[in-house]
């Protein structure tokens, strides 16, 4: 049995689905079902006795203690987090509450449970913390990619809250001996991605004939990681990673945002052409967001060197699979686009003038 937090979110849901597709070990899936958590992403597991879904919050210590006592997991995989930079700018308090206070509460509950175990079970236990490359800050155009020893320089409320959670996980290992693992990933994309993030937003807006908002000049560079590759890497680190270590997980796909948008448009032109013309006609440059990091790049050689992992998908294969998934799952998209989601889009983009 493993305990997964945030397992109804984008990466967490993909991880749970892939975990149960690859092994029979049961999952306790704890998720608060905030705007980005969606039970529909887990619909294929309805009735599966290996999947135990719990609606709850990682800041609820009593609930965590009960789950540890009842299910006695051999590992925790901690995805639960507020994760959108723009939302963190508008409302940083929720990010501090979930990402910092929530991680602290989960660490303390895990430490209490772990301390009660026999020596063999204590040695086998793992607390795997899933983090982001954004904790490292921004790179210049010619700077080498982030390594695991790169200085932390978070520039948004989101990345600062994740940096704080990384530090807590490290401290609980060095102070209390809790056997932890941390992974810092680059930008994920793929199935079940909530359509406020770049790639799904471009797909959904394009199909609706809406503007495709691109921040600033569109030259912000990100490394792109197909979500199922990320899940495979997490499984490897959980199984064989060295306790107390950090591993960067990247896709080796550095691309500027505008290239991503144009790639999505080209795939849609091919797979679902619009009689009105190429989807590129919908691109609209808008005012950049405050403190927008210029470039992220991940050096994932440590993970390949120690555990033999590297991504299976190229960006070209992964983005085609992603666009096809959204074309085939219009019902899922329509249902997650609630009134709250539409209100958020209006709030975030209403005051951004066309550049």
Task: Write out the catalytic residue numbers.
Answer: 133-134, 158
d(CA 219, CA 294): 8
Picking from 339, 305, 17, the residue whose alpha carbon sits closest to that of residue 148 is 305
d(CA 16, CA 22): 10
What the block records as the tokens of 208 is 């609706």
DSSP 201-228: HHHHHHHTT--EEEETTS--EEEEEEHH
DSSP 8-72: TSHHHHHHHHHHHHH----EEEEE---TT--GGGGGGGTT-TTEEEEE--TT-HHHHHHHHHHH-
d(CA 17, CA 107): 25
3-state secondary structure at position 99? helix
Contacts of 175 (CB under 8 A, 6+ apart): none
φ/ψ (deg, to 5) at 104: -60, -45
CA angle centred on 216, ends 214 and 251, rounded to 5°: 65
Residues 319/167, Cβ–Cβ less than 8 Å: no
What the block records as the tokens of 7 is 């397992």
């Amino acid at each position: 049995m493993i305990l997964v937090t945030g397992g109804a979110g984008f990466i967490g849901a993909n991880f749970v689905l892939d975990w149960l597709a690859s092994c029979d070990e049961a999952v306790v899936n704890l998720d608060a079902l905030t705007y980005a958590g969606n039970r529909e992403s887990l619909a294929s597991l309805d009735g599966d006795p290996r999947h135990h879904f719990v609606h709850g919050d990682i800041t609820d210590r009593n609930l965590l203690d009960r789950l540890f006592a009842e299910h006695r997991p051999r590992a925790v995989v901690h995805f639960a987090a507020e994760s959108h930079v723009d939302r963190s700018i508008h409302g940083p308090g929720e990010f501090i509450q979930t990402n910092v206070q929530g991680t602290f509460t989960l660490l303390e509950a895990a430490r209490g449970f772990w301390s009660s175990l026999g020596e063999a079970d204590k040695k086998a236990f793992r607390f795997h913390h899933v983090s982001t490359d954004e904790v490292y800050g921004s790179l210049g155009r010619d700077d080498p990619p982030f390594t695991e020893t790169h200085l932390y320089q978070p520039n948004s409320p989101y990345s600062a809250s994740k940096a704080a959670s990384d530090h807590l996980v490290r401290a609980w290992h060095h102070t209390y001996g809790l056997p932890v693992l941390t992974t810092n990933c680059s930008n994920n994309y793929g199935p079940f991605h909530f359509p406020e993030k770049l790639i799904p937003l471009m797909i959904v807006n394009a199909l609706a004939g809406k503007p495709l908002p691109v921040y600033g000049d569109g030259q912000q560079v990100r490394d792109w990681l197909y979500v199922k590759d990320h899940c495979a890497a997490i499984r490897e680190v959980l199984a064989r990673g060295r306790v107390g270590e950090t591993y960067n997980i990247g896709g080796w796909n550095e691309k500027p945002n505008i290239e991503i948008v144009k790639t999505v448009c080209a795939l849609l032109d091919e797979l679902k052409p619009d009689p009105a013309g190429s989807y590129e006609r919908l691109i609209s440059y808008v005012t950049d967001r405050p403190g927008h990091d210029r470039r992220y790049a991940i050096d994932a050689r440590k993970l390949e060197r120690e555990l033999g992992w590297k991504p299976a998908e190229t960006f070209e294969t992964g983005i085609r699979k992603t666009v096809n998934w959204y074309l085939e799952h219009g019902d899922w998209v329509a249902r997650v686009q609630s009134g709250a989601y539409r209100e958020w889009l209006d709030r975030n983009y209403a005051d951004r003038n066309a550049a």
